[in-house]
Amino acid sequence: MRVSDATLGGGLVIFAIALAGYSQTFPDIPGQSYGAALFPTLVALGFAGCGVTLIVQGAGHGEPLLVRADWAREPRAMLAVSGTVLGMAAYIVLAPEIGFVPTMVALLMILFALTRVRWWVALPLALVATLAIEKVFADLLLVPLPLGLMPRLPW
């Protein structure tokens, strides 16, 4: 699936407007002549400029707003994409209750099954990937992952 430059530019301008609007809610920094909103507003202006440029260039080529790629015509590929989006939603709902490790292992096994990975390859890969992600986020980046039903891992 390919999105035209004009469509992408329109999305970028909408994002820039939202970013600039939200950044205006940031508090002022006492004793400074500029506030915390300055940098996000400058970034939003850059996004808006890029978006307008993409709209102008895309409109000049007259290409369709959305073109479906060959892979997107296969039902199994669309099932895998839908499974990924549903998996993220399921993680948001299930991880606080069940915990990061069991939720991720289950989701990865489902995603591997959707992409036709054999179970004897998928199971150790899901376990190793989950434990590696847990190690990096919990211990190195100090991001608290939901424990749920599981006790904290010993490392």
What residue ranges do the domains of the chain occupy? Answer: 1-69, 74-154
Please give the average per-residue pLDDT across 114-143, as a whole number. 90
pLDDT of residue 61: 78
Please give the average per-residue pLDDT across 118-147, as a whole number. 90
The pTM of this model reads 0.57
Taking CA atoms, 43 is separated from 6, 15, 16, in Å, by 20, 11, 8
Residue 155 has pLDDT above 70, yes or no: no
Tens digits of per-residue pLDDT, 98-118?
A: 999 999 999 999 989 888 889
Residue 154's pLDDT band, with cuts at 50, 70 and 90, is: low
pLDDT of residue 9: 92
Please give the average per-residue pLDDT across 48-76, as a whole number. 83
Helix (H, G, I), strand (E, B) or coil at 69: coil
150 near 99, Cβ under 8 Å? yes
9 near 58, Cβ under 8 Å? yes
Residue 138 has pLDDT above 90, yes or no: no
CA distance 151 to 144: 13
Q: What is the mean pLDDT of the chain?
A: 88
Residue 71's pLDDT band, with cuts at 50, 70 and 90, is: confident
